[in-house]
């Protein structure tokens, strides 16, 4: 009983350390990443009205948005008691830190080895890819928790209450993010692996899988049918403009996986796959092998955003690494060197720290908008008409909506937007054009009132000013590192 208490204390200390590390990095920057400002705005709207902002008057100067809202309701709930700036840093950090606890119980169930489970939990808390989410107000802080809890309940589906719990977790996951389909597809690969290994396939597992799949399909057809009919197959890639596809859906490579996951979890995870396939045929580990295979294939085929795929792949490899760690520790305990298991444990942790330290440090870097850009948008909010349309880069669209409280021309939510490639190209041209007549045509096309040339856009487009902004049609109304031009409504004769 003392050992159990000791392990739980170690796990609790590990959770607190990882939560503290994330919060330190999160509060080191006062702002949030560019995409996070959409989550902040949704949270504020839910707090004020009780409903998500499905009809957005500011995004694309007015449009319909579809998304599962549970994560924003969670933020709004805590925002009732905690200021939003704190809520948006604390709640996602709690979610990612709690993965440590979930990974521990999953790996303990698979390996029946508490030391291996604790080491895997440690890996999950400091794997570099997890720290790309700092200050993103990432929906994956809830989605990953629900998805891996669902995988754990599936492992124990024959036990009383776990079938019902699986259904509840799936419903919560569906109201959080569509990435739960990655796990549902994995169940079928899992059955195939069991079949090839001549394991008995549990009829209850098949029944619950089919029920969960049909429930998920029904929910998403209802939610996204308009987007599917509008975009067709492009719906899979979220209607992302063609020039941006390569940044959202990158080519997977061995070096990138090493950088994101770490060499130790990767090698241990790959060895676990080999061992399960060719030696032991561990049933529970087969589920996470299936999950890792699906994540890898979706990354390879570019069916899932690069960072999202790496998050799923890294966590599954970490779970599988516990299986290899168990083998190492069991074999070490059979030798005549009594201290060898402790030595091996310390060595694995040390190598993990040394090999992930550089990627970890490079991952922890500011991704927040410069203060000069925030200051400029505060000026826009206080000095422009409420119905003004502000042109900024696509990345800054959410920032314009939340900080300036004004309409944008575009933002990174591309679903249900027609001719997105044309709009994206037009916005880029408006920052690089030299011909004034073409710029005026495009500005009138999108009813633009002000142009926000941020310090970030200056770096991105290699500009110090707009080439076509002559005084007869444009007025420089703000000049403090970032620039804001007022378009005077000229037209081409």
For the cut 90, the answer to whether the pLDDT of residue 6 exceeds it is no
**What is the pLDDT, as a whole number, of residue 1?**
41
Mean pLDDT, to the nearest integer, of 414-436?
92
Confidence of residue 150 (pLDDT cuts 50, 70, 90): very high
* Angle between helices 140-155 and 70-79 in degrees, nearest 10: 120
CA 456 – CA 474 distance, rounded (Å): 21
In Å, what is the CA distance from 213 to each residue of 148, 186, 187, 217?
A: 16, 11, 10, 6
Mean pLDDT, to the nearest integer, of 410-435?
92
Inter-residue contact 384 to 448 (CB < 8 Å): no
**Residue-averaged pLDDT of the chain:** 91
Residue entry with tokens 């030798």: 335
Residue entry with tokens 């031009």: 485
**What is the pLDDT, as a whole number, of residue 335?**
79
Mean pLDDT, to the nearest integer, of 386-393?
95
In this structure, what token pair is assigned to residue 77? 């709930």
Confidence of residue 4 (pLDDT cuts 50, 70, 90): low
Mean pLDDT, to the nearest integer, of 140-160?
94
Inter-residue contact 98 to 89 (CB < 8 Å): no
Burial profile 208-247: b = 16 or more Cβ within 10 angstroms, e = fewer:
bbeebbeebeebbeebbeebbeebeebeebbbbbeebeee
pLDDT digit string, tens, across residues 313-329: 999 999 999 999 999 99
pLDDT digit string, tens, across residues 438-490: 999 999 999 999 999 999 999 999 999 999 988 889 999 999 999 999 998 88
**What is the pLDDT, as a whole number, of residue 381?**
96
For the cut 80, the answer to whether the pLDDT of residue 336 exceeds it is no
In Å, what is the CA distance from 306 to each residue of 30, 57, 298, 447, 468?
A: 27, 31, 9, 35, 37
Percent of the chain with pLDDT over 90: 68
**What is the pLDDT, as a whole number, of residue 257?**
82
pLDDT digit string, tens, across residues 198-244: 778 888 889 999 999 999 999 999 999 998 888 888 888 888 898 88
- Strands in 474-480's sheet, in edge-to-edge order, are 407-408, 389-391, 450-453, 482-487, 474-480
CA 74 – CA 94 distance, rounded (Å): 12
**What is the pLDDT, as a whole number, of residue 339?**
83
pLDDT digit string, tens, across residues 273-292: 999 988 887 889 999 999 99
Nearest-5° angle of CA 59, CA 61, CA 64? Answer: 55
């Amino acid at each position: 009983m003392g050992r159990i208490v000791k392990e739980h204390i170690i796990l609790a200390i590990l959770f607190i350390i990882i939560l503290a590390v994330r919060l330190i990095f999160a509060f080191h920057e006062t702002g949030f990443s560019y995409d996070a400002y959409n989550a902040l705005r949704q949270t504020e709207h839910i707090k004020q009205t009780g409903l998500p902002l499905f009809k957005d008057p500011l995004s694309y100067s007015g449009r319909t948005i579809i998304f599962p809202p549970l994560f924003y309701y969670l933020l709004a709930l805590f925002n009732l008691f905690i200021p939003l700036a704190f809520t948006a840093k604390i709640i996602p950090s709690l979610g990612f830190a709690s993965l440590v606890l979930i990974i521990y119980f999953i790996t303990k169930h698979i390996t029946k080895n508490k030391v291996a489970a604790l080491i895997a939990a440690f890996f999950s808390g400091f794997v570099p890819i997890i720290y790309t989410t700092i200050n993103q107000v990432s929906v994956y802080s809830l989605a990953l928790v629900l998805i891996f809890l669902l995988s754990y309940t599936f492992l124990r589906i024959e036990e009383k209450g776990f079938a019902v719990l699986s259904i509840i977790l799936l419903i919560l996951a569906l109201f959080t993010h569509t990435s739960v389909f990655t796990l549902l597809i994995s169940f079928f690969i899992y059955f195939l692996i069991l079949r090839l290994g001549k394991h008995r396939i549990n009829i209850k597992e098949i029944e619950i899988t089919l029920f969960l799949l049909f429930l998920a399909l029904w929910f998403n057809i209802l939610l996204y049918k308009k987007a599917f009919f509008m975009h067709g197959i492009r719906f899979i890639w979220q209607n992302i403009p063609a020039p941006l596809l390569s940044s959202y859906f990158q080519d997977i490579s061995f070096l990138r996986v090493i950088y994101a996951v770490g060499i130790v979890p990767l090698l241990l995870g790959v060895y676990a796959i080999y061992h399960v396939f060719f030696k032991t045929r561990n049933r529970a580990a087969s589920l996470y092998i299936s999950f890792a295979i699906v994540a890898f294939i979706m990354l390879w085929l570019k069916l899932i955003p690069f960072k999202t795929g790496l998050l799923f792949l890294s966590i599954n490899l970490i779970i599988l690494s516990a299986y290899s760690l168990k083998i190492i520790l069991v074999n070490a305990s059979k030798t005549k060197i009594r201290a060898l298991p402790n030595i091996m444990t310390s060595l694995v942790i040390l190598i993990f720290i040394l090999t992930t330290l550089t990627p970890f440090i490079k991952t922890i870097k500011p991704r927040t908008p410069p203060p000069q850009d925030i200051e400029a948008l505060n000026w826009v909010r206080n000095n422009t008409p409420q119905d003004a349309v502000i042109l900024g880069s696509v990345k800054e669209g959410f920032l314009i909506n939340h900080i300036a409280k004004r309409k944008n021309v575009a933002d990174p939510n591309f679903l249900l937007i027609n001719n997105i490639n044309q709009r994206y190209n037009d916005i880029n041209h408006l920052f690089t054009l030299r011909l004034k007549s073409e710029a005026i045509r495009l500005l009138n096309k999108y009813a633009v009132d002000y142009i926000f040339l941020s310090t970030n856009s200056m770096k991105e487009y290699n500009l110090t000013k707009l080439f076509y902004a002559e005084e007869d049609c444009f007025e420089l109304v703000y000049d403090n590192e970032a620039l804001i031009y007022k378009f005077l409504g000229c037209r081409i004769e």
